[in-house]
Structure 1
Amino acid sequence: MIRPLLMCFALCVVYATSKPMEKKDRIHHEEALSSREHDDAKGYEYDHEAFLGREEAKSFDELTPEESKHRLGLIVEKIDNDKDGFVTEEELKAWIKKAQKRYIYVNVDNQWNDFDINKDGLISWEEYKNVTYGTYLEDPEVDDGYNYKQMMARDERRFKVADRNGDLIADKEEFTSFLHPEDYTHMKDIVVLETMEDIDKDGDGLISLTEYIGDMYNHEDGQEEPEWLVTEREQFVEFRDKNKDGKMDKEETMDWIMPSDYDHAEAEAKHLIYESDTNKDEKLTKEEILNKYDLFVGSQATDFGEALVRHDEF
């Protein structure tokens, strides 16, 4: 059985190669924390979405101030990882990043039961391999255009990197980093390696200008090249190939696909602490947060409290 993720990837490849004028973007951009403008003078909607995630922020808008404060108090206890009674900038930053990745955790939850065959709350490499490549394992000679042996070896390598303790058994966080490596710092090297393997057609471990352009654009005989290819060639020569040897190595590829973007979560954590830290000790108590609850979460006055929808916190 081929997992939905693999089939989706295959379809994306077919789609990309069927549209030669469409530019492929391999750069992993950090998504904005909110769709709103960050202007506290006009309201705290940006902060609500940054702190809770967009979907969860909507649910708080339905709550009374009392219920909103109560649920915020429960969240504060979760943010305080070391249980010392204070929320630090690092703890708040970690929470914001987790809130922003909630859709990823939902995606993993939706797939979890398919792979956790023995229902022990963990997913071993054997379980994943049997579910994903079961058909190939039964018939290694299957020929449908895919190199399953190569894909399985690549998956196993990534699984081992995601498996922090080396037991070839993944808990929920490890499995999440396996499925979504681009969102985890310790998985960056494997993302770069896989990207280079995809683009490096001559197998020299480097990406040439020809390979770089060939990955973005599927040339067809007699077809005029799009104008953006000129810019991409200039980008490669002037910025991508930093040591000017005509090719991109691992470090140069890392800088290309995973640029050091502005850390929005860190900036928001600093902002929330600055606005709430009444005694200026650069950390927040639960009381300080609840006193500024409207900065962190939304609410609205209503006479129908008993009809409000309740959601589990993270």
Structure 2
Amino acid sequence: MTRRLLVCLALCVASGGSKALEKKSRVHEDEPLSRMEHDDHKNHDYDHEAFLGPDQAKAFDQLAPEESRRRLGIIVDKMDSNADGFVSEEELKDWMKRAQSKYMYEIMEHQWKDFDVNHDDVISWEEYKNVTYGSYLEGTQTDSVYNHSHMMLRDEKRFKVADTNGDLTADKHEFVAFLHPEEHEHMKDLTVQETMEDLDKNRDGFIDMEEYIGDMHSLKEGEEEPQWVKEERKQFSEVRDKNKDGKMDREETREWILPSDSDQTVTEAKHLLQETDANQDQKLTKVEILNKYDVFVGSQVTDFGEALLEHDEF
């Protein structure tokens, strides 16, 4: 069974086991800054992961307060990219985007060795195809539920768009773009195209209301339409279909699945600024940040904390 099929089956099991997941969403959100609940009344775990990335946040949580402050001070100096003595909202946002990108690359590294079969530090389309669709290509895959041929053609098209130098191999930057197209500007048109191909059943180049609803919910004969479906119909008419012609074109589809206001780093940067900016001048000094070190990095004093994060940058 292919790697892709296993993923599909896992998603089907997850969605079938929870009514909360009954409503399918095509909206591409950024990779989450944190899996933690964002509730500052309980703790600042969300802020820690958003600011440091999950792995560093776990390590920082084990450090004594004085060590957390010392290492945070080093980070603050790096954040102040224009060396003016302040950290702006934009510098906070840029820092968190780097942490987010670093986490994506770490996930990619775990997958890299599975696909770089000949260990030449690039992944060719042939390598990716054989690893992912090997059983299907050999004719041993009898499961007819999934259209492997369609999936393979889509992956090949995406691979070629991610392959910016056109050599039919992907280095690590190109492979990350292939895995996370919604996060890369040069891949976003393809993401819209893939969505249009999925939903535009009558192939007229648009997504009408029934195609939009049909992607989320299949109404059985005699079944009353759920309230959330009625709300989605209203959303389609009032929000999605901006020019009120009864269908979504490419630009309307793009705004739906890749909303321009979905940047979590902007929201979190504003939140950290609000929590930390003692004199309300819309920028942070190193002192202001260190005074609120628990918001940024936290601490659970432990005996083994000093052994963690012994990296050159600290």
TM normalised by structure 1 equals 0.76
Q: Which one-letter code corresponds to 2:8 in the other structure?
A: F
Question: Is the Cα–Cα contact under 8 Å of residues 277 and 284 in structure 2 kept in the other structure?
Answer: no
Contact 2:177 2:187 (8 Å CA) reproduced: yes
1: CA distance, partners of 2:125 / 2:81: 30
Write out per-residue CA displacement over residues 44-79 of structure 1, whole angstroms, 9 at most, x where no aligned residue.
Answer: 655433211345323212112453345446656776
Deviation of residue 252 (structure 1)?
0.9
Say which of 29, 34, 37 aligns to 1:35.
Answer: 37
CA contact (8 A) 1:277 1:284 kept: no
Is the Cα contact below 8 Å between 1:64 and 1:305 reproduced in 2? no
Kindly tell me: are residues 308 and 211 of structure 1, through their superposed partners in 2, closer, same or farther at Cα, counting changes over 3 Å? Answer: same
User: How many angstroms apart in 1 are the aligned matches of 2:56 and 2:202?
Assistant: 47
1:122 pairs with 2:125? no
Match of 1:8 in 2: 7
Q: Which residue of the partner structure matches residue 108 of structure 1?
A: 108
Inter-partner Cα distance in structure 2 for 1:70 and 1:247: 56
Change (3 A) 1:267 1:231: closer
SS in 1 for 2:153: helix
In structure 2, the partner of 1:243 is 243
Deviation at 1:113, TM superposition (A): 0.8
State how 1:167-186 maps to structure 2 within 5 Å. 167-186=167-186
How far is 1:22 from its partner?
A: 2.4
What is the alpha-carbon distance in structure 2 between the residues aligned to residue 114 and residue 13 of structure 1? 24
Unaligned runs of 5+ in 1: none
The 3-state SS of whatever aligns with 1:213 is helix
What is the deviation of 1:121?
2.5
Note the residue ranges of structure 2 that are not aligned, 5 or more in a row: none
Conserved 8 A contact 1:17-1:218:
no
Alpha-carbon distance between aligned partners in 2 of 1:219 and 1:281, rounded to the nearest angstrom: 51
**Matched-pair identity in %:** 54
| SS of the residue 1:130 aligns to | helix
Using structure 2 for the length normalisation, give the TM-score: 0.76
Paired residues of 1:273 and 1:284 also in contact (CA < 8 A): no
Q: Partners in 2 of 1:46 and 1:221 — Cα distance?
A: 44
8 Å Cα contact 2:86/2:283 also seen in 1: no
User: Residues 32 and 108 from structure 1, CA distance in 2 versus in 1: closer, same or farther, beyond 3 angstroms?
Assistant: closer
What is the identity, as a one-letter code, of the residue corresponding to 1:176? V
1:170 alignment partner AA: A
Aligned residues: 307
SS of the equivalent of 2:28 reads: coil
1:223 maps to amino acid: E
Mapped partners of 1:235, 1:177: distance in 2: 31
Shift of residue 116, structure 1, vs aligned partner: 0.8
Q: Do structure 1's residue 228 and structure 2's residue 228 form an aligned pair? A: yes
The corresponding residue for 1:209 is: 209
For residues 196-254 of structure 1, what are the alpha-carbon distances to aligned partners after superposition, in whole Å with 9 as ceiling and x for unaligned?
A: 21111122221111111111111222322212222222222222122222211111111
Change (3 A) 1:80 1:129: farther
Q: Distance in 2 between matches of 1:183 and 1:265?
A: 13
Q: Distance in 1 between matches of 2:121 and 2:60?
A: 31
Native 8 Å contact 2:62 2:304 kept in 1: no
* Cα distance in 1 for residues equivalent to 2:155 and 2:231: 34
Equivalent in the alignment of 2:143: 144
**For the Cα contact (< 8 Å) 2:62–2:305, is it kept in 1?**
no
Deviations 1:85-129 (A, max 9, x none): 997765542331243466544432222111011223222222111
CA 1:69–1:171 in 2, change beyond 3 Å: closer, same or farther? farther
Question: Separation in 1 of the partners of 2:163 and 2:81?
Answer: 22
